[in-house]
Structure 1
Amino acid sequence: MPHGQELQPLPAPWQRRDERILPLWWDRLCSVTSPQSAALYAAGLFTDDRRRPIAQWYNPETDAALLVAPETSPEWPVQRFGIFYAPPGGGFTRVYSAPHEWHPREPRTPPTEQDSFLAAVAEAARFLQVEMDFV
């Protein structure tokens, strides 16, 4: 995102909740796949709440959520942030977007982990803006 370009405020009632991954994610993922497959999805992201940074939004009025989190195994040479969406009423989907990747073996070479994370968060916020037009 270019410097000086401000994101529009998120639509109400979306609330940012970054402290821990919401249990809603596990429930939603298991509703569309088996618990065994869910445990392996996105390198175990939804079974082991240890991978950071994350950005997460929750809409209590519709029981919907959006998550930005690392989705690749820590040992992979290229790391990537994924955007995941739990729509109102049930379900789970990965939001396909630009690749938000970085190379941990070259931590100072752009894009860095922070660059990739901020780009994924900005794209997730744009997704929420568009999604609210359809809800």
Structure 2
Amino acid sequence: MPRWQETHPVPAPWQRRDDGILPLWWDRLCSVTSPQSAALYAAGLFTEDRRRPIAQWFNPDSGAALLVAPETSPEWPVQRFGIFYAPPGSGFTRVHSSPHEWHPREPRTPPTEEEAFRAAVDEAARFLQVEMDFV
């Protein structure tokens, strides 16, 4: 666990839910774009729950969610984890963050997929801390 998480854990209302991508993501994306565009967004991330790993938090009190998942097409030479936020009520946005990338053709060259994923999860957890300050 990163040192900052030892002193600032993820806020209590947020529950980690990594078993499958929540239907909320599809609903939110379709509310801001067409179903056809939504199906293509982030290389089909929200229509096909096929790519792993993901990290996901859900706040049942507010209906908000946060997702860390691959956002690039599998055939791209550089892969990247994106952080996506569904705020309370409605809407959908990509959280602008540091690039959490890895090169699948060079699996042992840092950053590896695991290192990029851990960095994205850490940044997402920090985002939840800041988000709670505004709720």
Report the TM-score, using the length of structure 1 for normalisation.
0.96
Answer yes or no: is the 8 Å Cα contact 2:2–2:122 preserved in 1: no
Give the deviation of 1:5 after TM superposition.
1.8
2:25: which partner in 1?
25
Query: Which residues of 2 match residues 46-125 of structure 1 at below 5 A?
Result: 46-125=46-125
Tell me the alpha carbon deviations over residues 84-129 of structure 1, each in whole angstroms, 9 at most, x when there is no partner.
Answer: 0000010000000000000000000000000000000000000000
Give the deviation of 1:4 after TM superposition.
5.6
Query: Which residues of 2 match residues 8-47 of structure 1 at below 5 A?
Result: 8-47=8-47
1:134: which partner in 2?
134
Q: Distance in 2 between matches of 1:4 and 1:99?
A: 18
| Partner secondary structure for residue 3 of structure 2 | coil
Q: Distance in 1 between matches of 2:101 and 2:25?
A: 23
Q: CA RMSD in A?
A: 1.0
**1:5 matches 2:6:** no
Q: Which ranges of 4 or more aligned residues in structure 1 deviate by more than 2 Å?
A: none
Structure 2: unaligned runs, 5 residues or longer: none
Q: Distance in 2 between matches of 1:4 and 1:86?
A: 25
Q: What amino acid maps onto 2:38 in structure 1?
A: A
Q: Distance in 1 between matches of 2:89 and 2:19?
A: 24
* Matched pairs, number: 133
Report the TM-score, using the length of structure 2 for normalisation.
0.96
